[in-house]
Structure 1
Amino acid sequence: MASSFSSSSSPRGSEYDVFLSFRGEDTHKTFVDHLYIALVDRGIRTFKDDERLERGKSISSDLVKNVNESRIAVIVFSKNYATLSWCLDELVEILKCKRTKGQIVLPIFYDVKTSEVRYQKKSFAEAFRKHKEIHKVENETMQKWRDTLKEAASLSGLDLQDAANGYEAKFIKIIIQDISEKL
């Protein structure tokens, strides 16, 4: 299993080593909590947002600041990741930091295939349908989200299809090792 992630020079003066981007409903009490604990136990300064944002609300300026002040962003793509505009806006900011500040981006595909994220298939297609029909998100915003998902899913990452079958600890060790090498 290759674990080479996209990287370049890290931002200076970072408050956090790692920023975790995830959809809490899918992974918060399982994979993300275990990954967060493992990162902190390894002495890696990690930001994990536990607040819930109401639908339709924008990503907060504090969250934008924390994305910008992190050296590495770990994006945990899961089935419901794209259901929240907050996650998608956060992802846009992460990819902006990758391009402008050299932030390292580590995509993790948790129980979703890379192609589902890249081409917004299955649960991602349904999330976009709801954003358009129910939440009346503007086409320009939708296209920005689509382009950002495609870009992020094109980065080298880890596919955790087997995490539910007891391989989660193995994947976390690989992630911790890779992050440690990049810091």
Structure 2
Amino acid sequence: MARDVDGVDYSSSSSGSTKRWKYHVFLSFRGEDTRKNFTDHLYAALKRKGLRTFRDEEELERGESINPSLVQATEKSRSVIIVFSPNYASSTWCLDELQKILQLKEETSLQVFPILYGVNPSDVRKQKGSFADAFIRHEERFAEDKIKVQKWRDALQKVASLSGWDSKDR
């Protein structure tokens, strides 16, 4: 069993092989909502605790294809913190990333921790408020691919059932 300096096991045995985690935490968030405030503070706090944390602007190299890099970073992470904010669901990028995160959670030992930042749990679970507005636009834009939109809805419902935190509770 491999242990990091904090004594926590960051390896996982799967199919007889050992996987070493590159990151303790992968941060998933809607940049325009939280990058320069909540997520910056969360990232700094995690680093102060000695946790190797992936956040896209810190780890991606210029010119690198973002989507494959984010998928790879997620696969190399022990846990994911998803920051749900008012415009989270308006981003197809965030919704695709969320689907991948939940897929990895089912297939591996990935731990997922949601944080609600300026949204109610029912907004996420039932796609109400700004989430409802976003899905009206997605249904129009992806009228030919209703399955894609339904998968996003299902992913939000599933992650909303996980135990997490509300940023109002600090």
User: TM-score under structure 1 normalisation?
Assistant: 0.76
In structure 2, the residue matched to 1:41 is 48
1:81 matched to 2:88: yes
CA distance in 1, matches of 2:26, 2:120: 22
Output aligned runs, 1:1-183, within 5 Å. 11=12, 12-50=19-57, 60-134=67-141, 136=143, 138-161=145-168, 171=170
Give deviations 1:46-91, integer Å, cap 9, x for gaps: 000139xxxxxx9611111111110010000000001110000100
Unaligned runs of 5+ in 2: 1-9, 13-18, 59-64
Give deviations 1:121-143, integer Å, cap 9, x for gaps: 01001001111224656201001
Give the conservation status (yes or no) of the 8 Å contact 1:10–1:102.
no
Report the secondary structure of 2:71's partner residue.
helix
User: TM-score under structure 2 normalisation?
Assistant: 0.82
CA distance in 2, matches of 1:124, 1:137: 20
Percent of residue pairs identical: 52
CA distance in 2, matches of 1:145, 1:95: 11
Give the conservation status (yes or no) of the 8 Å contact 1:18–1:72.
yes
User: Which structure has the bigger radius of gyration?
Assistant: 2
Runs in 1 of length 4+ with deviation above 2 angstroms? 9-12, 134-137
Unaligned runs of 5+ in 1: 1-8, 52-57, 163-170, 172-183
State the AA in 2 paired with 1:70: S
| Residue 38 (structure 1) shift | 1.0
Give the conservation status (yes or no) of the 8 Å contact 2:25–2:51.
yes
Flag the structure with more relative contact order, 1 or 2, with Cα contacts below 8 A and sequence separation at least 6: 1
State the AA in 2 paired with 1:95: L
What is the alpha-carbon root mean square deviation over aligned residues?
Answer: 2.0
Give the conservation status (yes or no) of the 8 Å contact 2:11–2:20.
no
CA distance in 2, matches of 1:137, 1:44: 42
Report the secondary structure of 1:33's partner residue.
helix
Which one has the bigger strand percentage?
Answer: 2
Pair 137,85 (structure 1): closer, same or farther in 2 beyond 3 Å: farther
CA distance in 1, matches of 2:11, 2:86: 29
